[in-house]
Amino acid sequence: MSNHPRAYAVLYSSTFAFMVCFVVWMMFGVLGIRIREELGLNAFEFGLLTSTPVLTGAIFRLPLGMWTDRFGGRIVMTVLLLGCAIPVYLVSYAQALWQFLVIGLFLGLVGASFAVGTPYVSRFFSAERKGFAMGFFGAGTVGAAVNLFVTPVLLEAYGWRMVPKIYAVALLVTAVMFWFVAAPDPGAGKTGGKLLEQFKILKNPRVWRYCQYYSITFGGFTALSLWIPQYFQAEYGLTLVAASALAAGFSLPGAVLRAVGGGLADRFGAHKMTWWCLWVAWMALFVLSYPDTTLTIKTLNGPAAFHLYLPVWLFTLLLFVLGAMFAFGMASTFKYVADDFPENMGVVTGIVGLAGGLGGFLLPLMFGVLAELVPIRSSCFMLLYGIVWVSLIVMYISEVKKVQLSGDVVSASR
C-alpha cells in the first residue's frame, strides 16, 4: 500500500497548523509571569492560570476526534483555527483573574487540534509509515519552544497585552493557508458509526493503558513547558528572556524528536520504545528531584559539610534528556494506537489525547499545591518521579510479565 498523492502536503500543512495552535495554547507559560506580577498571584493561582487552557484542550479532544472521523480533518481544523482567534484576541482586555480563566477556557480549544490532525494525517499514509507520519505531526509541539523564544521578545517589544492580538491574527492567517494547502479527508464519514458503538472501544483495557502512558509523557511535557520558565527565574535568578530560552532546552527536544521517536517505534516496536523511554525519564527525574542541600557529616576529624546542588548547565542538560524521552514516549504511544485501533483512530486518539491533556491540566495545579505545602521547589520533579514509577509498574504487569509468561509456556511446550 502506497501513500496518498497529497500525503506530504497534508502532513506539512497540518503540522504547521498544530505548531501555531501549540504556541497559543502554551502562551500563558510566559505571559502568566507578567500577569502573576500584575495581579499578585500565589503559586496555586499561577498554576490555575497556566493550566486552565489545557483543561478545555483536553476535554474537547474526544469530540473533535469523533467529528474528524465524521466530517474530515480539513474542515474541522479550519473551523477550529478561525473560531479560537476570537478568545485569543480578548485576552488583551482581561483585567481580573476570573476573566483570564473564563477566556482561557475558550482559547484552550486550540489544544484539541492534536485530536484532529492525528487521525487526519494518518489516513494519508501506508501502515508502514503511520508511525513516522504521526510522529512528524506530533512534532508540532515545537510550538511550546517557539512560544519560549518568540513570546518574551514580543512581550519586551510591545508589552504583554499586544501579544494575544498578534497570535489571533496568526491563527486567522494559518486557517486560510491550511485550507488551500490541505486536501479533503479520504476517511471522512467512513469510520466510527453510531455514538454508542464508538464508545464501546472504552471496554478495551489497552485503551486505558495507553491513556496512562500518554498522561505522563504528554501531560508531563505540557505541564513542565508551562512551569519551567518561572522555575528557572526563581531558582537561578535569571531574567524572563534568559529563563525562557533555557526552558526551550526541554521543550525543543520534546517536540522535534517526536518525529524521530515515531520512526524508531516503526522499527523497534511501540513497547520497547515506551518501556526504555520511561526508564530513562525515571532516572533523570530522580536527579532533578534532589533539592539544593547542605549536608553536614560527623567524621573522625570533625564535622564535614557537603553542598549538593544542580548547576544551571547540568539542570538544563537533564531537562534536555527528559524532554527527549517524553518525545519518544509520546510518539510510541500513538504507534500503539495506530497498530491496535486502525479503524477507530479518531475516537481512540481523542480518548488518549484527553488523558494526556488532563495530565497537562492537573499537574501544574499539583505543582502549585506542593509548592505551598512542601516549600521545596523541586517537589514538582518528585511528583513526576512517582507517576513515572507507577507507569513502569503498570507496563511491567500488563505487558512485560505477560510476554515473559507466554515465552515460558512456549518453551515448556517444546
Rounded Cα gap, residues 119 and 122, in angstroms: 5
**What predicted TM-score, i.e. pTM, was given to this entire model?**
0.73
Q: Of the given ranges (15-19, 33-37, 307-311, 403-407), which has the lowest mean pLDDT? A: 403-407
Q: What's the CA gap between 63 and 61, in Å, rounded?
A: 6
User: Sorting pLDDT into bands at 50, 70 and 90, what band is 411?
Assistant: very low
Mean pLDDT along residues 119-141: 80
pLDDT above 70 (res 405):
no
Can you read off the three cell numbers belonging to residue 369? 499545591
Distances (CA, A) of 326 to 213, 222, 257, 270, 271: 10, 10, 9, 14, 14
Q: How far apart, in whole angstroms, are the C-alpha atoms of residue 274 and residue 298?
A: 44
Question: What does the pLDDT read at residue 148?
Answer: 85
In angstroms, the Cα distances linking 131 to 128, 345, 400 are 7, 13, 22
**Which domains, ranges and CATH numbers included, belong to the chain?**
7-189+200-413 (1.20.1250.20)
pLDDT beyond 70 at 192: no
Q: What is the pLDDT of residues 211-244, one digit of tens each?
A: 888 889 988 988 888 889 889 988 898 888 888 8
CA distance 36 to 97: 9
Q: Examine the pLDDT at 159 and tell me if it is beyond 90.
A: no
Mean pLDDT, the chain, integer? 84
Helix or strand (DSSP H, E) at 167? helix 163-181
> Which among 10, 303, 279 is positioned nearest to 129, based on CA atoms?
10
Q: Which residues of 345-384 are buried (b: 16+ CB within 10 A; e: fewer)?
A: bbbbbbbbbbbbbbbbbbbbbbbbebbeeeeebbbbbbbb
Alpha carbons 389 and 251: distance in angstroms, whole number: 22
